Structure 1
């Protein structure tokens, strides 16, 4: 039996955009990827890792800065007609009916009216929307609108279906139903697709659908690992083999460098966005789970399920706790450190003091702001001063986001104050040294 042919092949793909000051901001770095006939590949990673940009490069909508994309042995230099894409947003024309939206791609290709109608009606029936041909998008639920998007993508008989977070805007039950229907169509060969490539940040979705999972790392986007999935379809989420694979993916996505811990280097580190109340809630949940189970480490997949947190919700919180040395992660499991236990068991003031100590110790930007305020006679400094420093290494938007994170953390810890009207940072009581600086 001949091996499956390559459909899409990416070699050394890079993508960079120009910042307002003319600097190159690298989004993707050295991506090598292959999609073969007869397989579903899921690109799994956190938001902002460049997955969607990579999908557009594959389709020919966006050119790479460097590297090569090859479709069926031909270099991709523009949009590829045999590739269809389904987006996270439904992207329907509100003034067109379901039938009109589905016909649109066929009309753009010059397909005669009678043939357009026949194929559009067949696609609508196939995707489970028979009877809604004359409905407008405003009359449909979110799940039904996304089905229209699938019908529009499939009606042109594509070779490959590209999906950009196609299920993420749907509620859990609707997304599950649509995923199952798509897999049934794929497994029964009722659709002419030769390959499917899905961008996702949902680990269970990836294990449920993929023949191969490609895990993306961030800043810049690059492939961190590839995992073959050899579980037969349909897959049982409760099966031990399924759960083990989910835990393996969690372990890879939370893996640290050689030192085994997350260390923040420099003031321009891309700190994760994490609200204080959510950090506190997560430490309390970890502590409660550990107390209930009698174990120090608890499973990240179980924690995510219990708290109903997605990867994009959970991972920034985990990273923040690790940065502050309030928790540690190993092999897809998490535990509170001794400092983390002191934090979670403390009263409001004790928590603030612990947090302040860890913030000044482990986040250079927070310590830098405090040092500048301490040294100035009036103990005040404009936020723009620190924003300008961040923009030496980060984009304008990213600089503002990182500064906002540190300001929120610092205000909670009471190591400095911030006036939103004047956009100034200051010491609330410059006559006294903060207790946080002496707290052991």
Structure 2
């Protein structure tokens, strides 16, 4: 490449992040990097709040309000009013809550429709709920992606989909699919794990019913960071989630023997929030203050195009390396995925050169394009390195063949 595109100074905030020197990080779609704000917030809880104020911190430092506070900071990233978003638990737990609640709301129906290649935990949770309730009350129907729309009918209670495919990076049309589902009286639950913080979202405007997402990918909240859930205000009054823990009670510290749910989104809570994890996520979200997600999207697309332009030759001359992400930008999330028989070894060879990417079975090489800390120059270097590794066959080195426990 002779001309490297310019980075948008309003988007690239590399100095806000704590990345190892010389590392090109292209795995924010799996785990976002640490940030100065997140580090500072966590240290403040450890060294000042917990150490100095002990249990008083629940009131003095408003620990008790962190799930709602963090949810309110996530809400604008989702295109949602703040009182509809709360941070809590994990995606898996929140899926269980919302699938159960959705079946209660649509109680004359029992079928949950999802895609066969959805992220496994989404399918596992629905399968577990079906076993718990019995197939006369809950039945999971898995279909191919091209069969989703035809599967919608007046017997389906909930459509559960992931907005951006974790393997291929393909992005579905949330607005169109939600509207189509509603024509059949179907509630829609979206998994935003690979889209929140990466692509523009308008959950309120698109009339989304429910959504879940995690805090540790594009939101950079750290490993095991709290997840979040969105419940449209039109459903909040009728929401009955099954994990009726004390933090979802209308008056948790009254210690009443009978459960009475909180009025608003707080009823989605269950147990005591993990304060250190919440502090890390709360700090990390400061990076999104003042950001226009449309500009983030435009810069991410620019990075992807520059990468593809640099690897075009190897894609044309090496048939083993194939782009599996749709070429249409409108159908792309913020990642590019390639298939290759030796994808795992290629990923390890890139990592060995401080270009951090990842692998997903059976043969997918994934690269994330997060413009908050990734530049066009870095993307170009990564693309040239990939090209060289594929051309010279260095990925065949024995040290790249042994798979780690976490791939």
Q: Same fold (TM over 0.5)?
A: no
TM-score range, shorter chain: under 0.3
Higher strand share: 1
Using CA pairs under 8 Å that are at least 6 residues apart, name the structure with larger relative contact order, 1 or 2: 2
Q: TM-score, normalised by structure 1?
A: 0.26
Indicate the structure (1 or 2) with the bigger Cα radius of gyration: 1
